[in-house]
A and B are shown apart, each in its own frame.
Chain A
Amino acid sequence: MSEASPAKAYALHLGVIALLFALSFVLPEYYHGLLARIMVLAVFAMGYNMLFGYVGLLSLGHAMFFGAGLYGAGLAIIQLGWGVPLAFLVGIACGAVLALVIGLLALRTTGVAFMIVTMMFAQVFSLLILYFATWTGGDQGQVVPQPARVLNLGATSLDLTDPTVRYMSALLLFSLVLLVTLAIVRSRYGRVLVAIRENEERTKMLGYDTFSNKLMAVVVSGTICAASGAAYALLFGYVGSSFASVQYSILPLLWVLLGGAATTLGPLIGTVFMYYVIDVSSGYTSAYLLIVGIALILLVLFFPKGILGTIRQRWLGWLP
């Protein structure tokens, strides 16, 4: 990775945000809604990328952090009747606490064991949702009622079910997380994470406490994923156990691999591309899992660096 000029990197990211903002006014209704959803899920992918791309820890259980945000925010509204801002914070807090506990346990293992342990904790999480069906709604899930999804700011109130408000809220969250990720990656801390990925023993020898650095990364990653989950509950109004299933642990991995691990914009590109492929192929077949499967195999076989990773390697070395 060659040294990037900060202005160039920030200009590119602000340009992407501006483009997404402009798209809001030109896209037809269907794609407008889809893009809002994609932006929220891209936040999920960015959270995943934080750990997988930069620290090199492959988790197969990130659905539990997304689920913690989703259920934390959703149940705060449905069961406790709390307002939107508080519910959002509850969702994020749930994810952060869960990530801290899981990190403390799972980081004792490495490699394959780490993957299996995270998968098992996620499995326990999703089984707990089914077990406490009286509160969570079990495998049916629950709908967050429309009147509860209104943000009251003094005199004005924003209805999160309105397409434009929803799109802009998603964009706001996306932009915030994108810029935070960029700042983290370019910071001293981000470099330590990459050093751990490249050679943990050497990093330890240089005097860095790798365990607490990794733990911090798990918490940041889990918190970002929880923010995505909480936003999903508030913006799209559905809280379901399928979002905590193994499949939702695999999807962010797929999006990140496709877009390019350890690139800041890769998660967005991967998510957009995968949705586009599924959208196009659903015209021919309902077998979208087949496409997910084939995409995963082709990616690890031929493009282990993903779209942006390949572009960075070939042409644009400065890409963050």
Chain B
Amino acid sequence: MHFGPHLLLAALEGLVTSAVLALTALGLSLVFGVMRVVNVAHGEFFMLGAVLAWAISTAISGHPAVGFLAALVIAPLIVGAIALVAERLVLRRLDYNPEATIVATIGMLYIIQQLALTFYGPEARPVEPPFSYRILLPWFGYSGYKLSIIAASALLLIATWLVLTRTRIGLIMRATQYDSETAQAFGIPVGRVYGGVFALGAMLAAIAAVLIVPISQAHYLMGQDPLLLSFIVVIIGGLGSLRGTVVAAVLIGLSDGIISMFFSPTLAKIIATLLVAMVLVFRPQGLFGTASR
């Protein structure tokens, strides 16, 4: 294969990564933006989504698409419910203190990971894709399912954007993000908004995981990389900015796909992490964000 097609393949793979990453990072970004909570357990919600997708799709017999669609609906709902309970039981009692919540979400990370290991086991298990149509390009065939991930993610991102900007719920969320005390004074149930946002953030991660699991397998440690990459995306995009998050996800996903195709993935990770740390040190508002208040 020549360089051009090779690059195209790398770019396509990168776009698939970007699509999943944008959804995951959007969840992290919403939680940070509205609640000012850095959720270290976000990657574990991602992992839970994938593991539940495996459990649901194996429990339902028949055409793989039926099991997959069931997983796409049920897994995020379960993950959202778990997140809501965790928020009510732990984060609310900590009064959303930024440092205490980080320690508490680290605790959640360990608990979820260990429970997944105990009940799901250390194996990596595949989920069958809902359809296996291959699109034939002049140089290579490409999985139609992977392209549909990109489409699904784009739809979800647009939907989230519409909800945030065009609906009453979105208005309430933005009001809480802008100034929670004034929002409270205007009768917005800030506590419930926080609970809802935390659950929504976890659900976005779970949806991303259900979408990716047919091509990457479910494993109890699979939450680590998405967590790190989401952090990177959210920081580069500017904390709490939806547009920045999407742009950064495409940027990171593409460069990750291309760099790891031509260089060692470890080296790619080292460079990306170091660059992002430097961004955070020298330009804390992110590359696309505006200076924080």
* Chain A residues in the interface with B (C-beta under 8 A): 58, 60, 105-106, 108-109, 111-113, 115-117, 120-121, 123-124, 127-128, 130-131, 250, 253, 257, 287, 289-290, 292-297, 299-301, 304
Contacts and interface: CB of A to CB of B under 8 A. Distances in A.
Given A117-B280, A297-B90, A290 B235 contact: no
B228 A111 contact: no
Contact of B111 (A127, A253, A294, A301): A294
Nearest to B112: A293
* Residue among B103, B264, B276, B280 with most chain A CB within 10 A: B103
B277 interface: yes
B194 to A, nearest CB: 17
A295 to B, nearest CB: 7
A136 B97 CA distance: 39
A293 B235 contact: no
Contact of B269 (A116, A127, A250): A127
Contacts of B280: 109, 113, 116-117, 120
Interface stretch (B113-121, B158-166, B172-180): B113-121
B277 A124 contact: yes
B208 to A, nearest CB: 21
Interface in B115-129: 115, 117-118
Contacts of A108: 281-282
Interface in B262-293: 264, 266-267, 269-270, 273-274, 276-278, 280-282, 284
Given A293-B109, A295-B107, A301-B94, A115 B270 contact: no
Contact of A257 (B94, B103, B108): B103
A208 to B, nearest CB: 23
A257 B99 CA distance: 12
Which of B94, B117, B269, B277 lies at the interface centre, i.e. has the most chain A CB atoms within 10 A of its CB?
A: B277
B93 interface: yes
Nearest to A297: B107
Contacts of B113: 289
A239 B108 CA distance: 29
Contact of B104 (A116, A123, A250, A296): A296
B102 interface: yes
A116 B78 CA distance: 29
A238 to B, nearest CB: 22
A121 B282 CA distance: 14
Interface residues of B, number: 38
B110 interface: yes
24 contacts: A60-B102, A106-B281, A112-B38, A112-B99, A112-B102, A117-B277, A124-B274, A124-B277, A127-B269, A127-B270, A128-B270, A131-B264, A287-B118, A289-B111, A293-B107, A293-B109, A294-B107, A294-B111, A296-B104, A296-B110, A297-B90, A300-B94, A301-B90, A301-B104
A293 B110 CA distance: 5
B156 interface: no
B60 interface: no
Nearest to B267: A131
Contacts of A121: 277
Nearest to B271: A124
A116 to B, nearest CB: 6
A237 B290 CA distance: 50
Contacts of A293: 106-111, 114
A60 B40 CA distance: 11
Contacts of A297: 90, 104, 107-108, 111
Given A58-B102, A296-B106, A301 B228 contact: no
B98 interface: yes
Quick one: which of B114, B115, B228 has the most chain A CB within 10 A?
B114
Nearest to B93: A301
B65 interface: no
A304 B38 CA distance: 19
Contacts of B284: 109, 113
